[in-house]
Amino acid sequence: MLNLYQKIQKIETIQAEADKATKAFKNRYGIDCLEHCAECCKYKDINATPLEFLPLAWHFYKSGQLEEVFEKISNHKEPQCVFSVFEDGKWGCKVYPTRGLICRLFGFASVEDKHGKSCFAACHSLKINCPDRIKVICEKIASGGKTPIISDFYRKLSMLDLNLGDELVPINQAIKEACEIIYMHTAYKS
């Protein structure tokens, strides 16, 4: 059985694989985020697993910010991700290097339909701003073009911890649960 630290390392490996796969997707199909967009972080219904945020919570613990962040999340009442707004009101990710798995895959990966066929899950901004390009990519993927599949990454994640990796909850709850796990683990140790 993996200990917490080994689990965090494995999660980071899956996240690095997701980064590599989405980078290859962008190069293959000639598409990328719109400049200074961050619209996807404004979504009110992002779901994630607590497991994918363990590296982030661990980072907060190591940098002495865990309790402060936990309080911030507990007081955060909006449905949007707690890390999506900067102090000057601009949208973006305040924890980009340690963001979750869904944050890495969304927009440049596919979902599988009930027949096991891959469908490109394009974001709203790209659908609006470059519909022709999105149409071409959807057609290429539908006819067998290579694409990361979101559920493949989540399957790998859940193998590390069947409870925490399978539990899809609103993103702020996932981050909060990850912080609680690290807090309980480290408080028990000291």
Chain positions contacting ligand SF4, by CB under 6 A: 41, 46, 81, 83-84, 93, 95, 99-100, 103, 171
Residue nearer to ligand SF4 on the CB measure, 97 or 116? 97
- Please give the sequence-ordered ranges of beta strands (E in DSSP) within the chain, or none if there are none: 47-48, 110-112, 118-120, 169-170
CB hemisphere CA count around 5 (13 angstroms)? 3
Distance of closest approach, residue 162 Cβ to ligand SF4, in angstroms: 24
Distance of closest approach, residue 95 Cβ to ligand SF4, in angstroms: 5
Residue nearer to ligand SF4 on the CB measure, 92 or 131? 92
Residue nearer to ligand SF4 on the CB measure, 59 or 118? 59
CA dihedral 114, 150, 27, 103 (to 10 degrees): 140
Q: With contact defined as beta carbons under 8 Å apart, do 109 and 148 qualify?
A: yes
Residue nearer to ligand SF4 on the CB measure, 171 or 182? 171
Q: With contact defined as beta carbons under 8 Å apart, do 68 and 142 qualify?
A: no
Distance CA 67, CA 183 (A): 8
How many helices (H) and strands (E) the chain has is answered by 8, 4
**Within 10 A of 157 (CB to CB), how many other CB atoms are there?**
21
Distance of closest approach, residue 3 Cβ to ligand SF4, in angstroms: 25
Distance of closest approach, residue 117 Cβ to ligand SF4, in angstroms: 27
Distance of closest approach, residue 97 Cβ to ligand SF4, in angstroms: 10
Residue nearer to ligand SF4 on the CB measure, 70 or 83? 83
